Amino acid sequence: MSTTHPSADGEHTHTSIEDDVVDPAHIDNLSHETRRFAPSPTFADAAFAKADMYEDAESDRLNFWSRQAERLSWTKRWDDILDWSNPPVARWFTGGELNVAVNCLDRHIDNGLGDRVAIFFEGEPGDTRSITYTQLHAEVCQAANALEALGITAEDRVAIYLPMIPEAVVAMLACARIGAVHSVVFGGFSADALASRINDAGAKLVITADGGFRRGKELPLKPIIDEAVQSTPSVENVLVVKRTGGEVSFNDIDIWWHEALAEQPAAHQAQSFDSEHPLFILYTSGTTGKPKGIFHTTGGYLTQAAFTHAAVFDLKAETDVYWCTADVGWITGHSYVVYGPLANGATQLMYEGTPDTPHKGRWWELIEKYGVTIFYTAPTALRTFMKWGDEIVAAHDLSSLRLLGSVGEPINPEAWMWYREVIGGNKAPIVDTWWQTETGAIMISPLPGVTATKPGSAMRALPGIAVDVVDASGDTTPNGTGGYLVLTKPWPSMARGIWGDPHRFVDTYWQRYEKQGYYFAGDGANRDLDGDIWLLGRVDDVMNVSGHRISTAEVESALVSHPRVAEAAVVGAHDDITGQGIVAFVILRGQSKEDSTTIGEELRKHVVHEIGGIAKPRHIMIVEELPKTRSGKIMRRLLLDVAEHRALGDVTTLADPTVVQLIADGMTNNDED
């Protein structure tokens, strides 16, 4: 299952779940972890979510969700809680109407909370803003008016390509306010990746910035947009936020954001939208080269984002200072920087830059400076800090922290314990939260005031959520063994589809356990003897690099689009810091005598150009041949053995068993890692 030149994005149809199926019997069992950490009685007493929430949800799941929906403000109440008559496309709170931006802003102001800070912003160069709910509302209203003045309506899509600055939040909420669907593209994606996302959604407007600050430098964004819009016929205008003040070229479709907003009143009469009105599209990698536009709708999404933000993070909106380090370009930024916290009237910190600028203690300095109480980040960041050393952390007073969260990939027990001891001062509960772009909100997590947590386990499904671990035929696996993670009942924030491709939605998630009607998450999991869940990572060809999802096929597609590449196979090899690192095996076209380091470097750059920096291969190995079965399928597992420097597995099914040994010898001879 490799990608062969030439290939149009996404047209090769390998896939992989079937090819690369993991036998649950081979999923390692079990972490022999016996440590338990119960919340303190004080924490437990004051907690938002108590133990009875499980029974409550269990006894009447739909009414449980209905009560959570009541935490929002609706202009028209729903007729039915759930319509599951047309699976796998759910409709939640049917007939209900609401406006997401009104829920995130206006209603707090109406409740007298307008002067509460919504966002403490800290730019990487050290510039700061603190934005109250009243101020955020005014800016969102101006932006909503500006979008309408540009002809954007509830029928349109708007692409957002911004750094981590408050305008990103304003842009998203302005879209939501007028019912336009936003598609936020992470600022690290290349012009090509951006253009293909804009085209897939048919976005009429792009909101971007001149640039942002990253690692002490200005990172220009405008030139990337300029390149992208060369091939995006749907784009009529580009709104440009002035962030760095750097030199930019301006074309006739470009408009300065600050000028467009200045012309508009700071009030906007918001209309309500149907509970199932689309809210956003977010592209994520799957098992083919073509990213899929996961789309989410309004009422159910906001209900679960707000509920989980309150319950999992135990939010006390009056006193907490919450910080989620995710970029708005990912689902975590959507649900736990924008929609969840703002729907709950939280005060949060937003930081533009990298953790090591201007020094490696920047995050801890910020926690001290703002008195952050709830902190949500990714294991890859924690492992990086562990490597940098405890002294850096010890230089700061982190005693304000009362709750810690983890997301994006399995957290190893060592990193978990370090998080607890060094960051959390041995007192703050840790919530390891499992979920996905497709689930929209947290699905598996401890309840911090209830659960006695185990280092490395996401524990169990949240109240109102139904998960199982099953074998290949869909039967529940016994405790103490492993299998595939499935979601067995619809949930409010579930994706409603893949934009423009309903079949792919069915094929990817629902076909595998069609008989049972289960959602197949693509993750392997163990359930221990207590029934607690330990996530094991992907079972398909999706890599997880620093908590970012990248498909092997996407990187293969990028590689074979280079004229010198004949064939490429990519695997995600274990990496102590980033979880996985990308290792590519490449066959060049024609005779090659050149230095493999030179071409390797060129190909790495090419992948960055095609997809973006997040997909840069850690190692590219030029090979003469790839190990294939007699039917021509690449033996990825063997390549993984090579990439991870393991003894080679079973090679008897190979057409030519010597090939892989040759590759393995080459790997040890010129290892760059």
Task: Look at residues 6, 28, 328 and name the one whose alpha carbon lies nearest to residue 184.
Answer: 328
Stretch that binds ligand WT7, among 11-19, 23-31, 258-266, 521-529 (CB under 6 A): 521-529
Dist CA 316 CA 292 (whole Å): 36
Q: Are 446 and 431 in contact (CB under 8 A)?
A: yes
Instruction: Find the shortest distance in angstroms from Cβ 492 to ligand WT7.
Output: 16
Residue 460 CB, shortest distance to ligand WT7, in Å, is: 13
Nearest approach in angstroms of CB 485 to ligand WT7 is 8
- Give me the residues paired with residue 280 across strands: 182, 296
**Closest to ligand WT7 by CB, 437 or 451:** 437
Per-residue contact string for residues 467-506; x = within reach of ligand WT7 by CB under 6 A: ----------------------------------------
Least distance in angstroms from the C-beta of 8 to ligand WT7: 24
Minimum distance, C-beta of residue 542 to ligand WT7, in the bound complex (Å): 7
Residue 261 vs 442, nearer CB to ligand WT7: 442
365 by DSSP, 3-state: which? helix
564-to-193, 516, 602 alpha-carbon distances in Å = 21, 46, 10
Site residues for ligand WT7, 384-443, by CB under 6 A, read 407-410, 432-437
Binding mask 446-465 for ligand WT7 (x = CB under 6 A): ------------x-------
Q: Which of 489, 538, 628, 636 binds ligand WT7 (CB under 6 A)?
A: 538
Q: Which is nearer to ligand WT7, 535 or 583 (CB)?
A: 535
User: What does the block give as tokens for 73?
Assistant: 């403000």
Indicate the DSSP class of residue 15: -
Question: How far separated are the first and last CA of the chain, in Å rounded?
Answer: 25
Rg of the chain in Å (alpha carbons): 24
Q: Which residue number, 93 or 519, has a Cβ lying nearer to ligand WT7?
A: 519
Residue 129 exposed, middle or buried by CB count within 10 Å (0-12, 13-18, 19+)? middle
Q: Which of residues 79-108 bind ligand WT7 (CB under 6 A)?
A: none
Check if the beta carbon of residue 635 is closer than 8 Å to that of residue 650: no
Contact call for residue 541 and ligand WT7 (CB under 6 A): no
CB of 554 to ligand WT7, least distance (A): 13
> DSSP of 206-270, one letter per residue?
EEEESEEEETTEEEE-HHHHHHHGGG-TT--EEEEE-SS-------TTEEEHHHHHHTS-S---P
Q: How far is the CB of 638 from ligand WT7 (least distance, A)?
A: 23
Q: 106-121 b/e with 16+ CB inside 10 Å = b?
A: bbbbeeebbebbbbbb
Site string for ligand WT7, 254-293 (x = CB under 6 A): ------------------------------x---------
Nearer to ligand WT7, 213 or 283 (CB): 283
Cα–Cα distance for residue pair 629/504, rounded to 1 Å: 28
423 and 375 Cβ atoms separated by less than 8 Å: yes
Q: Which of residues 300-339 bind ligand WT7 (CB under 6 A)?
A: 331-332
Q: Rounded to 5 degrees, what angle do the CA atoms 335, 341, 345 make?
A: 150
- One symbol per residue from 125 to 164: x for binding ligand WT7 (CB under 6 A), - otherwise; what is it? ----------------------------------------
Is residue 377 within the footprint of ligand WT7 (CB under 6 A)? no
Nearer Cβ to ligand WT7, position 527 or 628? Answer: 527
Which one, 2 or 308, has the nearer CB to ligand WT7? 308
8 Å CB contact between 64 and 471 = no
Residues that bind ligand WT7 (CB under 6 A): 284, 331-332, 407-410, 432-437, 458, 521-523, 535, 537-538, 544, 547, 549
